[in-house]
């Protein structure tokens, strides 16, 4: 264990922890933008700078490991001035379009700009048109909103081990680009960790602010992994999917189906009534009529050709209970072991 002092408070943490870890443990807030608990420390945003006694220059708390006996200051006039100037530089290319940005109301940059009382973008660089191409059409990239925190690049590389995107260019002209577009799985890990409106969903035509939607926690229905997610519901319609880092099963990660495969829920093409084919065409039927027909045909096949003439194929999109009932029905009612499941295939 290591003992150190932060803002005149003595704190004991495990060896290998960073100053930011120690501050969080003590309930001391240090502003961050590039830091994310699932990513290796990046240290790109420079918002978490702290003063360490004996060192001439401030250090980034997210990348600096604790040391025995050091004394740290997290809030001073010098540090606040540096953080304020850093924020101003982040706004050099920023369009300041918070009223129409999809991330308005839950944007970390917006929160910090408000906290530091920055009212205008004092610094401006020569305007350069930057390409807004991205690795997947399901995500829209807004280069002028990007603060180059590199969370998206790190998440694609460290969490998903893909490396589909990276930094291209330098200085104020730098941006995120699909350097290995063919590796992109459209999982949305990058959009999940983006702290600003630089990456937004490009699927739903319906948009809603965080206070306009009801977020309903549920389990993803696409496979048996049990990933947790939140359905963003507005006017009784699902308009998006969000996740939380503390979800035990998936820790906020999803695949492309879980992140973007929700439009079927409100699709007008979904069947709402059973269909029975007569003379080569489907006709709507009542449930009792459809179930009676299925029971009649299965009984006839079993009588004529035996139980093993019937097989069942279950679905990963059903619950465990429903899949259990399906195999029980085939084995106990029909009398066959011909039961399989789409996940195995």
Could you count the other beta carbons within 10 Å of the beta carbon of residue 56?
6
Average confidence (pLDDT) over 180-199: 96
Residue 16 forms part of a structural domain? yes
Residue 110 lies in a domain: no
The residue from 43, 69, 90 where one domain ends is 90
pTM, 2 dp? 0.83
**Together in a domain, 170 and 211:** yes
Give the single-character DSSP code of 195: S
State how far the alpha carbon of 132 is from the alpha carbons of 30, 33, 106, 145, 196, in Å: 32, 22, 22, 11, 16
261 and 133 both lie in a single domain: yes
Same domain, 237 and 130: yes
When the pLDDT of each residue in the chain is averaged and rounded to a whole number, the result is 92
Q: Span 200-217, mean pLDDT?
A: 88
pLDDT in the model for residue 19: 97
Is 108 domain-assigned? no
- Does 210 reside within a domain? yes
Q: Which residues are bridge partners to 276 per DSSP?
A: 283
For the chain, give the percent of residues with pLDDT over 90. Answer: 78
| Reported confidence tier of residue 262, pLDDT bands at 50, 70, 90 | very high
Q: What is the pLDDT of residue 258?
A: 94
Say which CATH number the domain at 76 has.
3.10.20.740
| 230 and 335 assigned to the same domain | no
**For residues 257-285, average pLDDT:** 93
Which residue bears the tokens 């906290």?
115
Domain count, the chain: 4
The answer to whether residues 260 and 286 belong to one domain is no
Q: Looking at the structure, do residues 159 and 233 belong to the same domain, yes or no?
A: yes
Out of 21-35, 178-192, 247-261, 308-322, least confident range: 308-322
Query: Is residue 130 located within the same domain as residue 262?
Result: yes
| pLDDT band with cut points at 50, 70 and 90 for residue 123 | confident
Regarding whether 189 and 173 lie in a shared domain, the answer is yes
109 confidence band (pLDDT: 50, 70, 90): very high
For residues 264-281, average pLDDT = 92
In a domain, residue 48? The reply is yes
- Domain for residue 106, yes or no? no
In a domain, 40, yes or no: yes
Same domain, 203 and 251: yes
pLDDT value of position 345: 59
Domain that holds residue 332: 308-345
Who contacts 15 (Cβ-Cβ below 8 Å, separation ≥6)?
Answer: 1, 2, 66
Sign of CA dihedral 142, 108, 152, 216: negative
* pLDDT in the model for residue 341: 85
For the residues 48-56, what does the mean pLDDT come to?
96
Query: Of 90, 113, 132, which residue sits at a domain end?
Result: 90
Last residue of a domain, one of 90, 112, 132: 90
């Amino acid at each position: 264990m290591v003992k150190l002092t932060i803002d005149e408070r003595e704190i004991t943490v495990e060896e290998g922890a960073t100053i930011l870890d120690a501050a969080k443990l003590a309930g001391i807030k240090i502003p961050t933008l590039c830091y994310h608990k699932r990513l290796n420390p990046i240290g790109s945003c420079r918002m978490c700078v702290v003063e360490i006694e004996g060192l001439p220059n401030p250090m980034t708390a997210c990348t600096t490991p604790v040391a025995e006996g050091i004394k740290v200051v997290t809030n001073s006039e010098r540090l606040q001035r540096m953080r304020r100037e850093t924020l101003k530089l982040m706004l050099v290319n920023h369009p300041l379009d918070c009223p129409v940005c999809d991330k308005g109301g839950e944007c970390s940059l917006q929160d910090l700009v408000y906290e530091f009382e920055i009212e205008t973008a004092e610094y401006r660089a020569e305007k350069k048109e930057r390409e807004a191409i991205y690795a997947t059409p399901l995500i829209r990239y807004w280069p002028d909103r990007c603060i180059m925190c590199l969370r998206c690049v790190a998440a694609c590389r460290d969490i998903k081990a893909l490396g589909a995107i990276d930094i291209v260019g330098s200085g104020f002209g730098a941006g995120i680009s699909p350097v290995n577009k063919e590796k992109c799985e459209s999982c949305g890990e990058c959009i999940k960790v983006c702290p600003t409106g630089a990456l937004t969903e490009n699927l739903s035509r319906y948009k809603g602010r965080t206070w306009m939607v009801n977020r309903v926690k549920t389990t993803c229905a696409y496979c048996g992994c049990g990933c947790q997610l939140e359905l963003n519901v507005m006017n009784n319609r699902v308009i998006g999917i969000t996740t939380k880092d503390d979800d035990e099963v998936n820790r906020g990660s999803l695949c492309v189906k879980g992140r973007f495969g929700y439009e079927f829920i409100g699709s007008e093409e979904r069947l709402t009534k059973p269909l029975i084919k007569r003379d080569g065409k489907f006709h709507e039927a009542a449930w009792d009529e459809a179930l009676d027909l299925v029971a009649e045909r299965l009984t006839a096949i079993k009588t004529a050709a035996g139980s093993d003439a019937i097989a069942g194929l279950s679905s990963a999109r059903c619950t465990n209970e429903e899949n259990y009932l399906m195999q029980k029905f085939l084995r106990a009612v029909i009398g066959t072991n011909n039961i399989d499941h789409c996940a195995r295939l």
